[in-house]
Structure 1
Amino acid sequence: MLDDDQIPPIDRSALRHSYVIANGKGGVGKTTLASNLAGLVAADGARVLLVDVNGQGNVGRDLGYRESGVDDEGAALYESLRTGAPLIPVQGVRPNLDVVVGGAQVGAAPDMLAATFRMQQHRQALSLAICLAPIAHHYDLVVLDSAPENPPLQQLALSAARWMVAPTRSDKASINDGLGSISRQFQLVQRSVNPDLTLLGVVLFGSGSASKQIHRNARQWVAEELNADGYLFDSIVRYSEAVGQDARSHGRLVHELEAAAAANPKFWDLRSGRANAGTIVSTTSASVAEDLATLAREILTRAAGQDAA
């Protein structure tokens, strides 16, 4: 039950297509999944909003706008959280894709909210939902990238979402520590401020596609951690260090790398000096792009099926 006074009304129906990508620990593919899910759906023609609720601001690395005029390090998001005003996204970061930029100022938001809404814990947790709901109806999909190891920022993102998707590595420590941590935040938020929040599923990220026994073990550990089976998505995003490095060094999403790989310079052009080796993109990007596209379809299909049910 909400017991804080003066919490503005929140149109939860406007947030029915909002997805938070969350895990309690870093390095499990969370931001990569958030950026690429948003970018893939936007490339397919839908209107998408990506909200970077993270003090690291790594969405900007995935989309190539870090240290540009677009990158305000989360100042606009911070101000909306402080005042309760609707979010003001940066428009057209990609065709059909708008972004609410994250960064260092977002990391400072929990302290500001605690001071601004002193003794109003529910109002603090709902601050992002209050700012997001008035603009969410402009979009077919809203994706929120949440912060690892930062419960107050996690609560902000979870409180504004309808669905939670949790990427994880396949080892037992990642599943127990990462999923265990975010599961506790999920239950707290669902019980106290956002009863609409639903765990849609868990994604194995950065795993070998042929590692069947590893996948069986991971499925068992996920079921044990969440006290339920059936959450693990069938789609698995395979491991490729080269693709991860290329994506952030070039500021491109994986499906954009796939297109760029087709234009890689020929060996003889490199040898003759007519082309720069720094322009080469890993051809493994095609496989990872396929994994992400398959996962995106599975995520949206599962959500639609649960809504229909």
Structure 2
Amino acid sequence: MLDDDQIPPIDRGALAQTYVMANGKGGVGKTTLASNFAGLVAADGASVLLIDVNGQGNVGRDLGYRHSSIDDEGEALHEALRKGTPLQPVSGVRPNLDVVVGGQHVGTLPDTLAATYRMQQHRQALALAVCLAPIASRYDLVVIDSAPENPPLQQLALSAARWMIAPTRSDRASISDGLGSISRQFQLVRRSVNPGLSLLGVVLFGSGSASKQIHRNARSWVAEELGEDSYLFDTIVRHSEAVGQDARSHGRLVHELEVAAASNPKFWDLRSGRATAGTIVSATSASVAEDLATLAREILTRAAEEDAA
């Protein structure tokens, strides 16, 4: 057991606006939600920090910096946590949006921290909180994208957050396996190192908007896993494979795709060769952008109400 005096003091007040997107299962919309939530709030004028605590580094695909000069594949994040020094975000990835880049170096953090802080499990779990707290007050909002199926990295992210949001697909496996797994990590972190961590809600992600029976089934399964269904957000982010492909191939957030779709080439421009099909952005981006914007408002409203209660 790690004594309290071996852990650097952490200003939990500075982390009060820190949100983590978490699920024990991959492919449920975590990174898409983290990137778009952060991007929407930043586009609305708030100062936002997005932290990619994932060895896949897919935040870089969403924001279009993958394999660019700023993509260090998580090396700066790895070194900050190893040394216990403040994070050094990349500034201006979007207006008002700074990013702590993730990638393959993040995947080695559990082994690095275990070697650096031998027999100090609490210090290992709090490594991100220690490095984030000194800079968090610079931002109105901090969003963390966490790794699936990697408990040590999940614990790092959860230990630094005030609010957890769990996106999930509507199928039974995603809810039972994904929510069940992250619920166990949530309880462990809350009990051992971060008692202020709260589950803000569960988001049904990538579901058909008219699938009423599917939504009823999902609500029932969420209640089985969490004991009640009140955690579900009202907003459902609808499914669009075309939007998902366009977002990462163009390196744009969904509300940015919506703007780009308005400038899609005309049919004759395609026929005459003045434009190519590769420049076309799915018109479905407008409906998905609306879902994400509505969800962002619901998240911030619920958090404010919870704080005021």
Q: For this structure pair, what is the TM-score category when the shorter chain's length is used for normalisation?
A: over 0.9
1:110 counterpart letter in structure 2: P
Tell whether the 8 Å contact from 1:2 to 1:193 is kept in structure 2 after alignment. Answer: no
Instruction: Say if 2:190 is the partner of 1:190.
Output: yes
1:31 matched residue in structure 2: 31
Q: Deviations over 1:56-101 (max 9, x none)?
A: 0000000000000010000000010001100000000000000000
User: Hey, what's the Cα distance between the residues in 1 that align with 2:144 and 2:74?
Assistant: 14
Tell whether the 8 Å contact from 1:2 to 1:192 is kept in structure 2 after alignment. Answer: no
Q: Deviations over 1:149-177 (max 9, x none)?
A: 00000000000000000000001111000
Secondary structure, aligned partner of 1:203: strand
Question: What is the correspondence of 1:254-269 to structure 2 with a 5 Å cutoff?
Answer: 254-269=254-269
Cα displacement (A) at 1:53: 0.3
2:220 counterpart letter in structure 1: Q
Q: Deviations over 1:2-41 (max 9, x none)?
A: 6355110000000000000000010000000000000000
1:91 matched residue in structure 2: 91
Tell whether the 8 Å contact from 2:169 to 2:205 is kept in structure 1 after alignment. Answer: yes
User: Hey, what's the Cα distance between the residues in 2 that align with 1:268 and 1:101?
Assistant: 41
Tell whether the 8 Å contact from 1:4 to 1:121 is kept in structure 2 after alignment. Answer: no
User: Hey, what's the Cα distance between the residues in 2 that align with 1:33 and 1:43?
Assistant: 15
Runs of 4 or more, structure 1, over 6 Å off, are none
User: Hey, what's the Cα distance between the residues in 2 that align with 1:275 and 1:101?
Assistant: 34
Question: What is the correspondence of 1:71-90 to structure 2 with a 5 Å cutoff?
Answer: 71-90=71-90
* TM-score normalised over the length of structure 2: 0.99
* TM-score normalised over the length of structure 1: 0.99
User: Hey, what's the Cα distance between the residues in 2 that align with 1:4 and 1:283?
Assistant: 54
Single out whichever of 21-30 and 224-233 deviates more from structure 2.
Answer: 224-233
1:81 counterpart letter in structure 2: L
User: Hey, what's the Cα distance between the residues in 2 that align with 1:259 and 1:162?
Assistant: 33
- List alignment gaps of at least 5 residues for structure 1: none
Superposition RMSD in Å: 0.9
2:274 matched residue in structure 1: 274
Secondary structure, aligned partner of 2:233: strand
Tell whether the 8 Å contact from 1:51 to 1:101 is kept in structure 2 after alignment. Answer: yes
Secondary structure, aligned partner of 1:228: coil
Cα displacement (A) at 1:192: 0.1
1:114 counterpart letter in structure 2: A
Instruction: Say if 2:229 is the partner of 1:200.
Output: no
User: Hey, what's the Cα distance between the residues in 1 that align with 2:231 and 2:186?
Assistant: 15
Cα displacement (A) at 1:266: 0.1
1:23 counterpart letter in structure 2: N
User: Hey, what's the Cα distance between the residues in 2 that align with 1:29 and 1:60?
Assistant: 15
User: Hey, what's the Cα distance between the residues in 2 that align with 1:297 and 1:213?
Assistant: 26
1:234 matched residue in structure 2: 234
Instruction: Say if 2:138 is the partner of 1:142.
Output: no
2:249 matched residue in structure 1: 249
Secondary structure, aligned partner of 1:102: coil
Tell whether the 8 Å contact from 2:2 to 2:121 is kept in structure 1 after alignment. Answer: no
1:160 counterpart letter in structure 2: A
Question: What is the correspondence of 1:293-304 to structure 2 with a 5 Å cutoff?
Answer: 293-304=293-304
- List alignment gaps of at least 5 residues for structure 2: none
Cα displacement (A) at 1:228: 2.2
Percent identity among equivalent residues?
85
Tell whether the 8 Å contact from 1:203 to 1:232 is kept in structure 2 after alignment. Answer: yes
Single out whichever of 222-231 and 25-34 deviates more from structure 2.
Answer: 222-231
Q: Deviations over 1:219-241 (max 9, x none)?
A: 11101101123000000000000
